[in-house]
Structure 1
Amino acid sequence: MAIDEDAAARADDVWKVYGAGATEVTALSGVSVALTRGQFTAVMGPSGSGKSTLMHCLAGLDTVTRGSVHIGRTQVTGRRDTALTRLRRERVGFVFQQFNLLPTLTARENILLPLSIAGRRPDPAWLDTVVDAVGLRDRLGHRPSQLSGGQQQRVACARALVPRPDVVFADEPTGNLDSRSSAEVLGFLRRSVSEFGQTVVMVTHDPTAAAYADRVVFLADGTLVDDLPEPTADTVLDRMRRLDTRR
């Protein structure tokens, strides 16, 4: 496939193999995909398809066995730990199913934590924009235990956006939320792309969540098997059913 060198992130013929011999498991088998800058991409597939493994490799959280990964035009593959840590800190944002907030810090302090670790000061205007976008201005002084699950995840989303990363990776970000809180978080991720030009890559099993994306890529048994532009919940569900019948 032709590779877009200006993509926000891309995988070129990526393989990921765990174990060896009788215990060897191939999680990714020659996956090549380019994730368009300023676009919301959902990654879907049956359980064990390799979708979270792909995201972790793209984000530099896991190494690849063969192939290469890039963030922008910077090669992630083969970088030393210190350089990889710096790349993730400065150019990648993360939102996980578990909110991963520090319980002793306020919402504002949690949002600013990546910048504090990097020794960077926030852009006050951008911080205000993000805080207002997630609707948390009246909760900034509260600790995580004083916030609902949806509010905690919105803090996590704001934390990912404030450093202005090249790409935000979200791994099942609504997995622990009720339908209303899920809609709030997905709505914010959608706005971050549409209004702020952010690039978001989200792993999900939920067709309704995937319908917020501009594009859905589907994995099965470690390979890329489908690519759906302009998804709806119905078209995503139909593609997932087809994948299930293949197994």
Structure 2
Amino acid sequence: MTTAVTIPRHGGTGGGTAVAARARQVVKAYGSGETRVVALDRVDVDMARGQFTAIMGPSGSGKSTLMHCLAGLDTVTSGQIHLDDTEITGLKDKRLTQLRRDRIGFIFQAFNLLPTLNALENITLPMDIAGRRPDEKWLERVVETVGLAGRLKHRPTQLSGGQQQRVAVARALASRPEIIFGDEPTGNLDSRAGAEVLGFLRRSVDELGQTIVMVTHDPVAASYADRVVFLADGRIVDEMFHPTADAVLDRMKDFDARGRTS
């Protein structure tokens, strides 16, 4: 059963669940005066620990901007972003870089693999750069979860697009980050490969206790999440728990209809 809850401008977590990341009264604006564009307009939102959250909205709604601000990849104009109990909005660049490296995982539409390294070397590269040894048992679980056990010695050119994105997922999971952010992680994949990667992300939440926040425009991708947060005009306008692809698609059609009549 799909439950949709309409809320005026902020999202909760759906109960007393621990919060992995949160935004409070976040504004992100570009330019000034008549050319000022507000990408995020006083956003309040919690991202629940141990859950898979999808962020959706029409083009230009601010969904990627919100993810980038939550992940410390972009600064906010005003408001606060917290990762667990750490406020990241006031951190200096060096400390923020260290925090992203040690506590956050990233999966992007582009796989961003180094062609000269094999799959295993690409997975452990961030930890190698940081001078940290991987937890072998955890790494083995991650590799098994994403189905790469027989491909670790292969270089990216020897892997399909779906397999390359599996490597990128494993790389994000390998350091046991507090939260993983995905920006259209299946955008470059066909539907079959995309479904495989989304299945691995779902398993990482269910079996490994991971926290994932994913920006997507695809209702099918969003249906893998526990919760969908909807943005429009830089504000959170709705959220949906236990989403189905059809329910998400209907909600997105509502946005399109509003856009044509406004």
Structure 1 stretches of 4+ with a deviation exceeding 6 A read 1-5
Q: Is structure 2 residue 239 aligned with structure 1 residue 227? A: yes
**Matched AA of 2:148:** L
**Matched AA of 1:122:** P
Change (3 A) 1:141 1:80: same
* More relative contact order, 1 or 2 (CA 8 Å, 6+ apart): 2
Match of 2:157 in 1: 145
Work out which of the residue numbers 200, 205, 210 in structure 2 matches 1:193: 205
Match of 2:103 in 1: 91
Partner SS state of residue 90, structure 1: helix
Q: Is structure 2 residue 137 aligned with structure 1 residue 117? A: no
What are structure 2's unaligned runs of at least 5 residues? 1-9
Deviation at 1:22, TM superposition (A): 2.9
Partner SS state of residue 46, structure 1: coil
Match of 1:204 in 2: 216
Work out which of the residue numbers 162, 166, 173 in structure 1 matches 2:185: 173
Matches within 5 A, 1:48-63: 48-63=60-75
**Matched AA of 2:142:** V
CA separation in 2, counterparts of 1:16 and 1:195?
35
Alpha-carbon displacement from aligned partner over 1:43-92 (angstroms, at most 9, x marks no partner): 00000000000000000000000000011111110100010001000000
- Aligned length in residues: 247
CA contact 1:5–1:72 (8 Å) conserved in 2: no
Q: Aligned-pair RMSD on alpha carbons?
A: 1.3
Deviation at 1:5, TM superposition (A): 9.6
CA separation in 2, counterparts of 1:82 and 1:181?
37
Match of 2:3 in 1: none
Alpha-carbon displacement from aligned partner over 1:193-231 (angstroms, at most 9, x marks no partner): 011110000000000000000000000010000010110
Match of 2:78 in 1: 66
Alpha-carbon displacement from aligned partner over 1:77-130 (angstroms, at most 9, x marks no partner): 010001000100000000000011111111101000111111110111111111
Deviation at 1:21, TM superposition (A): 2.1
CA contact 1:6–1:73 (8 Å) conserved in 2: no
Deviation at 1:243, TM superposition (A): 1.2
Match of 2:19 in 1: 7
CA contact 1:12–1:69 (8 Å) conserved in 2: yes
Identity among equivalent positions (%) equals: 68
CA separation in 2, counterparts of 1:140 and 1:5?
36
**Matched AA of 2:203:** R
TM-score by length of 2: 0.92
What are structure 1's unaligned runs of at least 5 residues? none
Partner SS state of residue 188, structure 1: helix
Work out which of the residue numbers 102, 118, 139 in structure 1 matches 2:114: 102
CA separation in 2, counterparts of 1:177 and 1:49?
24
CA separation in 2, counterparts of 1:159 and 1:59?
17
